[in-house]
Amino acid sequence: MKLTVFLLTAAFLSVQAVGSRAQTITFSGKDIPLKQVFAAIKKQTGYLVFGNTDLLKSGKAVSITVQDIPLRDFLGMISRDQAFSCEIRSKTIMLMQKTPPGLAENVVTYTRADTSKTGGTITGFVRNEKGEPLVGTTIAVKESKQVVLTNERGEFKLNGVNVGSVLFITNIGFKSQSVAIQDTRKKMEIILEKNISSLSEVVVNTGIVDRNINSFTGAATTITKDQLFRVSNKNVIQSLKVLEPSLMIFNNLSFGSDPNKLPEMMLRGNSSFPQGTVTDLKGDYGNSPNQPLFILDGFEVSLTKVVDLDMNRIESITILKDASAKAIYGSKAANGVVVIETKKNTGNKAIITYNGSADVEMPDLSSYHLTNAAEKLEAERLYGLYSQISDYPPNYQTQLQLDQQYNQRLQAVLSGVNTDWMSKPLRNGLGQKHGVSVELGERDLKLFADFSYNNIAGVMKGSSRNVFATSATLSYRYKNFLFRNILSFTDGKSNDSPYGLFSEYAKMNPYWTPYDEFGNLKQNAETGIVPYAGSTSIGQFFAPNPLYNSTLNTKLTNNYTEFIDNFYTEVYLTTGLKMLLRGSFTNTKNQADQFYPANHLKFQNYSGDDFFRKGSYKRNEGGQVRYTGDFNINYNKPLGDKQLLFVNVGANISQRSFEEVAYSAEGFPNDRMNDILFAKQYSKYMNRPTGSEGTTRDLGILSIASYSYDNRFFADASFRTSGSSQFGENHRWGSFWSAGVGWNMQNEKWMEDLKVFDRLKLRASVGSTGSQNFSSYQSLATYTYFQDKIYQGYLGAYLKGLANPDLRWQQKMDYNVGVDFSIWKKLTGRLDYYQSITQNTLVDFTLPPSTGFPSVKENLGKIRNTGIEAMLSYSIYSDPKNRSYFSVSASAIHNKNIILSISNALDAYNQQQNKIANDRFNNTPVVKYYNGVSMDAIWAVKSLGIDPANGQEIYLTKNGVRTYTYSASDQVVVGDRMPKVSGTFGLNGEYHGFGLNAYFTFLCGGQLYNQTLVDRVENADMSYNVDKRVLNSTWHQPGDVKPFKALGSVEVQNPDGSWTRKFIRTQASDRFVMDRNELSLASLSLSYDFFKWAFLKQMGLQRLRCAFYTNDMFTISSIPIERGTDYPFSRKFSFSVSATF
Amino acid sequence: MKRILVLVLAVCSLSACKKWLSITPKSEISSTELFKSEQGYKDALIGTYLLMTSTNTYGFESTVGLMDVLGQQYAMPGSTHPYYFASLYQYDQLSVISKKDNIWSGNYNVIANLNNIINTIDRDKNSMNPANYALIKGEAMGLRAFLHFDLYRTFGYGNLANSPAGLTEKTLPYVNSYSKEITPRATGQAFLDSVQYDLSRAADLMAKYDSVSVTQNTQNGVIIPNADHFYDNRKMRFNYYAIRATQARVYLWLGKYDKAIQAAQEVITKGQGYLVSFNGGTINNPDPVNKDYTFSTEHIFSLNVQNMYDFIKPYIDQFGPDGVNTNYSQLAHSGTVANDLYEINSKPGMSLSDYRYKELYKKISSTNYLLLKFTYVTNSSYKDRMPIIKLPEMYYILAECYNEMNDPASAVTYLNTVRINRGISPLYNLPATLGKEDVAAEIQKEYRKELVSEGQLFYFYKRRGNVSIPGTAKVMDNAVYVLPVPQAETDMSGGH
């Protein structure tokens, strides 16, 4: 029964919640006649005003400045000193002579406080859900018309009240409450719930302290849980990708939709040079240099944790982008901060929620255009796979064999063999998600517990990710203390597909079959021959059947368990003074296993002594422990009527240590013996354990101050000093700061008169932050022992590199100006212009070898990112009563990256890259760094196309000379991988419970090197499948004007005029650099909320909602490139149910 | 609030905080940690020897490979040979650039390691056994000078006696600190002064302790802690006589003959008592396991290069990797050139008994004489030794000095000593009446015979300033003798 009551209240409140958006008033003025005031109300709300006009005329003129306050409150304010009172009755405001009786229950009437009456005295306090005191809350006694405000500790005192009197408690941004006095001797405790619609408007959660939006100068975006769920129910990152364009998470063309690959991301552009990273380690303990800092409930967490986080636990996500917002994180904040706040307990009632979904992933192969069996065979014939290309007279024996091979294949083609190899390793992945959460609450003791299971099934057979997670949040309030403990445990297990790389299948020739005529799986799809170019001999050719491997007992798993405990204490010391103490402990363990049995095709070539080495097992084991603690004191002090001061000081300390060990063994004769214990020996080439290890410690002191005047002008500043063990001993401590100013223009009188802007906030900020995403011991001089050599029987140690005691964090200066606006409550938006200059960028500084070492880590580079971010949303229709609204939104970011200076630090690196580019067998563009050039620049030689005369590519040297000779030194910047503009647009709406959301993402103005054209057309390995364009777009004979060079060999004229036949491999030229403009339907979702249905109540349900999502439905791209080469992309469908009991 | 803040600051500000933020890695050992014990110094010192054994430097290129190719020690079969361009002194060819640059960076890398020992050890002087302190620091300083001097002999100027301009030329940096600071290139004079200074400092440190036998010193009342046998085989470490021998090399390079004589004399007199002795004929042992091809009793300083043969084999084998086809990477002598050098036709009896002609060639055809110096049979007693300084060279230095001081007669006696110890019958002793030019020619022959694959011949020609040398028609001048400093060095040091 209790539950039913709550349901009614909830439904009622939510109607109010949505409704209040339209029922708020923004008004300011001095001595405005009442008539004018009501005209404004009518205009802003559309409500009619009824009443005796004499009441208006006789009323006093009003001087008031309010912004976005509920209509009811506003009416209360203006009628406070009047002889009339106001009442709202279904979109109508009635003016009445002040006569107390006969008012409806839910109407609050405000009159001047009348303390003359005698009665009891009652005290109490008002808090928000978090238990924080609500200063300035209005307490009105219905009977006596007495009104008081709560003091700075949220306390109030009323005289002359009796048991049974009803109090009306109102505060801006909170749902109003009416409470009957039951016992005047007892102190009353009133908790106001936040008014949902204004939740995101009031407070910005920075992870350390909450900041008032009205006086916050930072650029931050807050995304609520509802918004996240509008896009996807998959994971947080998937949703953020669409909702926050400044967080650049681009699709990985190689990994596609592999559920076990962590996305790479950066906020507002690239600001670190790639460091020599350790590869082949499975754990997530290394650092990706551009990755933002993730803060979950106040403490740093790994990206894995964020990806695996149950979305239902999330309350809100705040992305801190500029210095004002993020400088409090000091030396770790340069890449931006993503603050995730989980749900804390809310009401006092027991609530059980179930969320479940069934997910389907379907492979998306629309970007592949491979030849079919007949086309492939024809391409091979044209290429010369069945003829001898040599200067020698043809060998007839050879020719016979080649002809036989051709005829065999032709027979297969003619008999209808056209194997769809790509479909073999793929499936429609069926996954599921379940989550149950329980909220229990008494006045002082509250519990929120949840359990979730997430099973993601990727589109490659056997590829999956399973995550079990559970968490419990317990909070207890005692007097001025609040204790909260969040304990969470995650168990993740991922399996990679035993089918191997998708590219292994895509390259198979369609005239091959995986099964022999008896239906058995073949080891080799074909054992054939291939002619050697330039000679009359032939070679054996094996095409291993990748499907064969899938039948073996391969094991590719990665497990981790993570335990996090966060403890939080909050104490109200005196008025406005609050102390926060937090501690966190994280323990992560992981184990990865890679087992390939002896009969796996990768061991096919092992013979002789190596026979017993067949079969391999690699195991990685690792763990990480992190302790963090911080302590903050903040002080809120109103100075007079207009000024507000906020100060926070704090300190933090943290230690993180990780260790990972990997060892390899070999010799597993049978694929059933899939445990490392069955190994014959350690691996021949990795015969000892390897791994990595690191410990870092940080200390920091933080202070924040913020000041606002008259809610119009405000400024804030922060300063942080951080010390870290990662920095060189000469620079252990770094200082980071920020300063910002802002102006709420909408609160200016002249602006209010315009009646256009509900919000027009201008803000500007500047500040410095740092990043230290580098390995733990880079500043130290360290020795390592020779492991494979001894001298006279003694061990020896040698220096690993040069110490750099001056090593310090990368420092990023951020400049940001922005405006937030809202026009007629319809159009809201924000615009930010930023510039960030990263100094002391860590580079491998090339040293003269006489120092003994080729390079040292130095802080040298300087990188600038400039950009514009814009977000707009327009509310087309809104009818909160029926839960109906419709709005459209769009957001975009433009970012430009440039290297300002790296002096000659990376010369050696660039030379190395040139060497690679000159390599005849390299056909991917190399990455080079030069002053004044973007870090995302694509370097290639300019090409004039294919010479119609001889099929050779004509290059243009740096000096504009035509040549057939490729030289890496002629490489110039021919494009930029970073899109000029990327963003999203979409629409969302709800109508009587039906919801529709659609989001498109787009990017344009960037370029990409079309590797597909190189790998599958020009440099195609003709023994395997190729792109269709091989057939009709390649040069065949003199006179052909074609975009692609000849298949196979070409006649090349020598300087002496003679001709030679040559195979020419394609090297990086701008012929393959194409504009990349893309449009994707990132998300389309439909939902239905059963709130109007009576059966819910009978079933004891408070809420029932169903939703259907599709993600990544299609991508239209201007560049015809294969997407998802190692793992295909997928289209995702999901049906979800959410029920609250 | 203030009080708490003060507390936090107090906890943090001081040394406790600094200490807390200093972390020592587990998988590696920080320099400070390693040098907390004498063992750490020993390990670091041994590490430098191990670094020297790299095939990029003394393990191959500075001895068998590049340096002796530059000295035209080998017959060059054709353009497919990996050292073809090196034999033509085409220093702009990639294959040559990488080899010479590797010698540069390899040696400086060892120097950096030595510098870290030298710069740190004085701090712990008081807590160390004085013998350990003196020997470790002495060896380190000696090696630092030795490595720098070899770099100078390669990248610096020769023939200083006749063209002293080489001394004023800015050449190489003499690096004596482990730091990322770039050491400017010094003039030849300053550089060689530093070499001499380091050598004499090293000699001072070690003279008392290292003369050379450990037992010897115990008798002298100097106690060397050798329970761990750390000082057992002094030949394979940069011992006191190695310092003196290097000094002899340096003085000769500078044309300071009297000082060179003094140093070389000490090695052949005192050194022969304690450290080295002429080969006693083990080379004649018919069992290849006991053949001492490198004359290891004569090593004043050699390196213990583990599995040395594995790397050298492809260059001295008759056949290519498949064991059947011709070895196109061979570093061998031409039979004609060898016969000419050993005067087989003119003086038939002389060289037929010379170990170097008799035992160190595998004469597979009249034109192809394979070199056996580094050959290896399983269980060989003398494996893995790379001679760096040998006793005969001291005799050559003495001979050259006396000859240059116009005393060819004395010079001849030193040459004859070596010749007799190589199995040449005294009947073929060089006559004391030989003129200065003839003696010089004989010394050159000895270098060519004795120091095959030891990397010294090119330095000999360079020191003498020979305009023409056997094996090439190339006019030998500084363009050939002075190897170009690596591009990376000139680019990065900003023209210092």
A31-45, A342-356, B306-320: which has the minimum mean pLDDT?
A31-45
- What Cα–Cα distance (Å) separates residue B390 from each residue in A357, B205, B244? 82, 23, 12
Q: Comparing C-alpha atoms, which of A59, A69, A86, A60 is closest to residue A27?
A: A69
Substitution target from B22, B50, B299 for chain A, most A beta carbons within 10 A: B50
| Mean pLDDT across chain A | 82
pLDDT value for B292: 87
From chain A, pick out residues whose CB is under 8 angstroms from the CB of B104. Answer: 849-850
pLDDT value for B14: 53
Q: Please name the amino acid found at residue A386.
A: Y
Substitution target from A574, A652, A799 for chain B, most B beta carbons within 10 A: A799
pLDDT value for B216: 58
From the list B46, B116, B493, the residue facing A795 with the nearest CB is B46
**Which pair of structure tokens corresponds to residue A323?**
């210095």
What is the DSSP secondary structure assignment for residue B485, as one 8-state letter?
A: P
Q: Is the pTM of this model over 0.80?
A: no
pLDDT value for B210: 77
Q: Do B27 and A856 touch (CB under 8 A)?
A: no
Does residue B15 surpass a pLDDT of 70? no
- Name the β-bridge partners of A664: A618
d(CA B83, CA B72): 11
A83-97, A221-235, B348-362: which has the minimum mean pLDDT?
A83-97
pLDDT average, residue stretch A823-828: 88
Substitution target from B20, B98, B492, B493 for chain A, most A beta carbons within 10 A: B492
What share of chain A in percent tops pLDDT 90? 21
B108 interfacial to chain A (CB closer than 8 Å): yes
Q: Do A797 and B40 touch (CB under 8 A)?
A: yes
From chain A, pick out residues whose CB is under 8 angstroms from the CB of B20. Answer: 697, 699
Q: Do B104 and A850 touch (CB under 8 A)?
A: yes
Q: Kindly indicate the confidence band of residue A79, based on its pLDDT and cuts at 50, 70 and 90.
A: confident
Q: Do A851 and B182 touch (CB under 8 A)?
A: yes
Q: Do A794 and B42 touch (CB under 8 A)?
A: yes
Does residue B291 surpass a pLDDT of 80? yes
Q: Kindly indicate the confidence band of residue A102, based on its pLDDT and cuts at 50, 70 and 90.
A: very low
What is the DSSP secondary structure assignment for residue A348, as one 8-state letter?
A: S
From chain B, pick out residues whose CB is under 8 angstroms from the CB of A691. Answer: 27
pLDDT average, residue stretch B280-286: 81
Helical residues (DSSP H) of A567-647, grouped into ranges: none
Nearest C-alpha of chain B: how many angstroms from A784?
Answer: 5
Q: Are strands B333-334 and B368-371 parallel, antiparallel or unpaired?
A: antiparallel
Q: Comparing C-alpha atoms, which of A577, A581, A339, A579 is closest to residue A484?
A: A581
pLDDT value for A110: 39
Substitution target from A696, A850, A912, A915 for chain B, most B beta carbons within 10 A: A850
Cα-based torsion angle of the residue sequence A899, A900, A903, A907 in order, rounded to the nearest 10 degrees: 10
Nearest C-alpha of chain B: how many angstroms from A614?
Answer: 25
What is the DSSP secondary structure assignment for residue B354, as one 8-state letter?
A: -
Nearest C-alpha of chain B: how many angstroms from A798?
Answer: 5
Provide the phi-psi class of A353: left if phi over 0, else alpha when psi is between -120 and 50, else beta. Answer: beta
pLDDT value for B213: 56
pLDDT value for A282: 44
ipTM field = 0.91
Q: Do B488 and A908 touch (CB under 8 A)?
A: yes
Q: Are B147 and B104 in contact (CB under 8 A)?
A: no
Interface of B with A in 292-311 (CB under 8 A): 304, 306
Q: Do B182 and A732 touch (CB under 8 A)?
A: no
Q: Please name the amino acid found at residue B309.
A: Y
pLDDT average, residue stretch A1052-1080: 76
pLDDT value for A1063: 64
Residue of A nearest to B48 (CA): A798
Alpha-carbon dihedral sign for residues B308, B310, B311, B312? positive
pLDDT value for B21: 78
Residue A562 half-sphere exposure toward CB, CA atoms < 13 A: 25
Q: Do A783 and B491 touch (CB under 8 A)?
A: no
pLDDT average, residue stretch A708-736: 85
Q: Comparing C-alpha atoms, which of A63, A65, A70, A58 is closest to residue A25?
A: A70
pLDDT value for A1060: 64
Q: Are A243 and A1115 in contact (CB under 8 A)?
A: no
Cis amide prior to A5 (ω within 30 degrees): no
Chain centroid to CA A847: how far? 38
Substitution target from A791, A808, A859 for chain B, most B beta carbons within 10 A: A791
Nearest C-alpha of chain B: how many angstroms from A709?
Answer: 25
Q: Are B454 and B446 in contact (CB under 8 A)?
A: no
pLDDT average, residue stretch A237-250: 86
Q: Comparing C-alpha atoms, which of A419, A476, A414 is closest to residue A447?
A: A476
Residue of A nearest to B102 (CA): A849
Q: Do A794 and B43 touch (CB under 8 A)?
A: yes
Does residue A348 surpass a pLDDT of 80? no
From chain A, pick out residues whose CB is under 8 angstroms from the CB of B182. Answer: 847-848, 850-851
What share of chain A in percent tops pLDDT 70? 88
Does residue A761 surpass a pLDDT of 60? yes
From the list A695, A782, A786, the residue facing B50 with the nearest CB is A786
Interface of A with B in 639-658 (CB under 8 A): 649, 651
Q: Do B47 and A782 touch (CB under 8 A)?
A: no
Q: Do B46 and A794 touch (CB under 8 A)?
A: yes
Q: Are strands A555-574 and A577-596 parallel, antiparallel or unpaired?
A: antiparallel
pLDDT value for A1098: 81
- Name the β-bridge partners of A81: none
Q: Kindly indicate the confidence band of residue A922, based on its pLDDT and cuts at 50, 70 and 90.
A: low
pLDDT value for A1057: 65
Residue of A nearest to B7 (CA): A651
Interface of A with B in 3-42 (CB under 8 A): none
Q: Do B105 and A849 touch (CB under 8 A)?
A: yes
pLDDT average, residue stretch A31-58: 72
3-state secondary structure of A361: strand
Interface of A with B in 846-905 (CB under 8 A): 846-854, 856, 858, 904
Q: Do B12 and A786 touch (CB under 8 A)?
A: no
A386-409 tens-digit pLDDT: 888 777 788 888 889 889 999 999
Q: Kindly indicate the confidence band of residue A202, based on its pLDDT and cuts at 50, 70 and 90.
A: low
Q: Kindly indicate the confidence band of residue B400, based on its pLDDT and cuts at 50, 70 and 90.
A: very high
pLDDT value for A1056: 66
Q: Comparing C-alpha atoms, which of A1070, A1067, A1110 is closest to residue A1087?
A: A1110
Q: Kindly indicate the confidence band of residue A53, based on its pLDDT and cuts at 50, 70 and 90.
A: low
Does residue A198 surpass a pLDDT of 70? no
Q: How many CB pairs under 8 A join A and B?
A: 194
Nearest C-alpha of chain A: how many angstroms from B148?
Answer: 10
pLDDT value for A1086: 93
What share of chain B in percent tops pLDDT 90? 56
pLDDT value for A173: 66
pLDDT average, residue stretch A112-122: 56
Residues found in chain B: 496
Q: Are A30 and A37 in contact (CB under 8 A)?
A: no
A502-553 tens-digit pLDDT: 988 988 999 999 888 888 888 888 888 888 766 778 888 888 888 888 888 8
Nearest C-alpha of chain A: how many angstroms from B41?
Answer: 9
Substitution target from A733, A851, A857, A860 for chain B, most B beta carbons within 10 A: A851
B417-463 tens-digit pLDDT: 999 999 999 999 999 899 999 999 999 999 999 999 999 999 999 99
Q: Kindly indicate the confidence band of residue A21, based on its pLDDT and cuts at 50, 70 and 90.
A: very low
pLDDT value for B34: 87
Q: Do B180 and A847 touch (CB under 8 A)?
A: yes
CATH of region B3-306+374-482, choose from 3.30.565.10, 2.160.20.60, 1.20.1740.10, 1.25.40.390? 1.25.40.390
Interface of B with A in 411-440 (CB under 8 A): none
Q: Do A791 and B111 touch (CB under 8 A)?
A: no
B35-81 tens-digit pLDDT: 988 999 999 999 999 999 999 999 999 999 999 999 999 998 888 89
Residue of A nearest to B94 (CA): A915
Output phi, psi for B231, to 5 deg.
Answer: -105, 25
Q: Comparing C-alpha atoms, which of A758, A633, A718, A640 is closest to residue A214?
A: A758
d(CA A450, CA A355): 11
From the list A693, A849, A850, the residue facing B26 with the nearest CB is A693
Cα-based torsion angle of the residue sequence A935, A936, A941, A945 in order, rounded to the nearest 10 degrees: -160
Q: Do B28 and A784 touch (CB under 8 A)?
A: yes
Q: Please name the amino acid found at residue B100.
A: K
Helical residues (DSSP H) of A303-395, grouped into ranges: 303-308, 323-326, 373-383
pLDDT value for A18: 35
Output phi, psi for B155, to 5 deg.
Answer: -100, -5
pLDDT value for A1050: 61
Does residue B488 surpass a pLDDT of 60? yes
Residue bearing the bigger pLDDT, A184 or A361: A361
